[in-house]
Amino acid sequence: MIPTEPIGSIPRPPQLIEALTLHHADKITRDSLDSAYDEALRDTIDRLEQTGSPVLTDGEQTKPSFATYPLIGLSNLASDGVIIPFADGHQRQLPRLTSGPFRYGTHAESFLKAARTYTNRPIKQAVISASALSLLYPSTEIPGYSRESFLADLIDEAEADIRGALSAGAASVQIDFTEGRLSLKLDPSGNLLRSFVDLNNQVLQRFTADERQKIGVHVCPGGDHDSTHSADVDYAGLLPDLFKLNVGRFYLQMASEPDKPRILRLVGDLAGPQHLVFIGVIDPINPAIETAAQVRDRILEAASFLPIEQLGTTDDCGFAPFADDTSTARDTAFQKIRARVEGTELASRQLGH
């Protein structure tokens, strides 16, 4: 069967959302909140298994967001960091590093180990890119802690994050690189994008060729409250530099791409024989639930540009990447995932794979 994997986040259940609200208001204990986390994680794993998904994730049920989990527990941060603007006018803001050294407060392997208690199926683990976290360093130098020292620490921590997940048994590790496309909006010259690729490759060069075959990178135009931050940036401007990342897997938003044949042709030209390319066949922002037949047809289109042995399927993005638990219903997310799994099976049969 053509491989198929989720990207990551799934809207959290109402019981956990309520528990978070009560805990923030000091109306329940931390133990009660942890019990709600555990139940949400168990339910997420169980429902993912029911979709038939051969590879699972933890649904990011216990993360503050896909981008900020390493910052849990850190005290050397201020709230006024880089702002990420979205097309509908709302914003997300990253923290700002105030002093060194930089260390992760939480590593991704902890989420993998928690999920492993509920399933024996393969689990992929998402990690945030070093380039995204490089945005924590302010524009003016921190006294006693240079940007060069920060980047050296960041590369060490990013390596440890990936290596820890692999050592804990991750079937694959997905580096979230949503800032890749955004960088071209901030700097159309491409210099910022190329600096991001170089930084991430400094992390990746610390892994063996075999290890890098289990490491992938995910890109999309961002997704939050049914809006994006860089969908207006031509995908063709990103892809040539993206495929210079030294990974074995690419997870590419494609279901919402308006000109799929042009972009798929470019992907086919750029992908090397060592690459496995997961094409997005589910649009998390669109509330309509895809049918298995629609998914099959999207895969057949992709298969006309990519060798079948290098083709996989995925979702364009997570369903709740910034812990937005309301824009997409939890039930809708699982129905879309089931459609991806069933549609991938239909395409596999038709292609004789």
- The rounded distance, in Å, linking the Cα atoms of 138 and 240 is 29
Q: How many CB atoms lie within 10 A of CB 152?
A: 14
Q: What is the pLDDT of residues 43-68, one digit of tens each?
A: 999 999 999 999 999 999 999 999 99
The full DSSP string for 82-96 is -EEE-TTS-EEE--E
Distance, in Å, from the CA atom of 68 to the CA atom of 47, rounded to the nearest integer, reads 26
Would you give the DSSP letter of residue 78?
E
Alpha-carbon distance values, 343 to 100, 182, 200, 314 (Å): 49, 31, 33, 11
The secondary structure element, H or E, covering residue 277 is strand 276-282
pLDDT for res 323: 86
Return the ∠ at Cα 132 (arms to 174 and 75), rounded to 5°: 110
Whole-model pTM above 0.85?
yes
Rounded to the nearest 10 degrees, the angle between the axes of helix 179-186 and helix 235-242 is 120
Give the tokens for residue 271. Answer: 């992908």
Which of 346, 318, 345 has its CA nearest to residue 44? 318
In the three-class reduction of DSSP (H, G, I as helix; E, B as strand; rest coil), residue 233 is classed as coil
CB 89, CB 96: distance < 8 Å: no
Q: 56-350 domain in CATH 3.20.20.210?
A: yes
> Which string of b and e fits 50-82 if b means at least 16 CB within 10 Å?
ebebebbbbbbbbbebbbbbbbeebebbeeebb
Nearest to residue 86, comparing CAs of 222, 178, 254, 255? 222
Low-confidence residues of the chain: pLDDT under 70: none
In three-state secondary structure terms, 110 is helix
Peptide bond between residue 101 and the one before it cis (omega within 30 degrees of 0): yes
